[in-house]
């Protein structure tokens, strides 16, 4: 079973470069890895430029086949179970069906606080 996600980065012209990720799209895995290992514009861009992703494990990425695609606006990003967007030097995320993106770092910190209780 896979938990699919889209990982995107906003480019200087305002459009988005996006890659599909097949496995482990949930916040406790891809969200955590993106936030902790792909935390800069350069690292996020390198990740997405690699094309479609099978899985991300820490800073190790397994790619497969296809090139990344573009979306003109944030609303045109391919919808999967989870969507992650690097914008203004921060990661944001949302689940399928949600209207608004949330700050990924804030969400992970809340999750850690809950798990530590």
- On the question of pLDDT at 33 being above 90, the answer is yes
Residue-wise pLDDT for 66-83, tens only, equals 999 999 999 999 999 999
Q: How confident is the model at residue 1 (pLDDT cuts 50, 70, 90)?
A: low
User: Where in the chain does DSSP place strands (E)?
Assistant: 5-10, 16-21, 53-57, 60-63, 69-71, 82-87, 90-95, 102-103
CA dihedral 114, 3, 64, 32 (to 10 degrees): -10
Mean pLDDT across 26-52: 97
Mean pLDDT across 50-76: 94
**Prediction pTM value:** 0.94
């Amino acid at each position: 079973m896979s938990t699919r996600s889209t990982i995107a980065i906003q480019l200087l012209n305002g459009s988005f470069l996006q890659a599909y990720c097949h496995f482990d799209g949930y916040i406790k895995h891809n969200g955590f890895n993106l936030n902790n290992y792909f935390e800069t514009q350069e690292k996020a861009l390198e990740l997405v430029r690699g094309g479609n992703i099978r899985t991300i494990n820490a800073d190790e990425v397994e790619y497969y086949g296809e090139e990344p695609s573009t979306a003109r606006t944030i609303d045109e990003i391919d919808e999967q179970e989870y969507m992650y967007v690097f914008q203004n030097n921060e990661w944001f995320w949302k689940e399928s069906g949600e209207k608004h993106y949330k700050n990924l770092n804030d969400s992970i910190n809340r999750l850690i606080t809950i798990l530590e209780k």
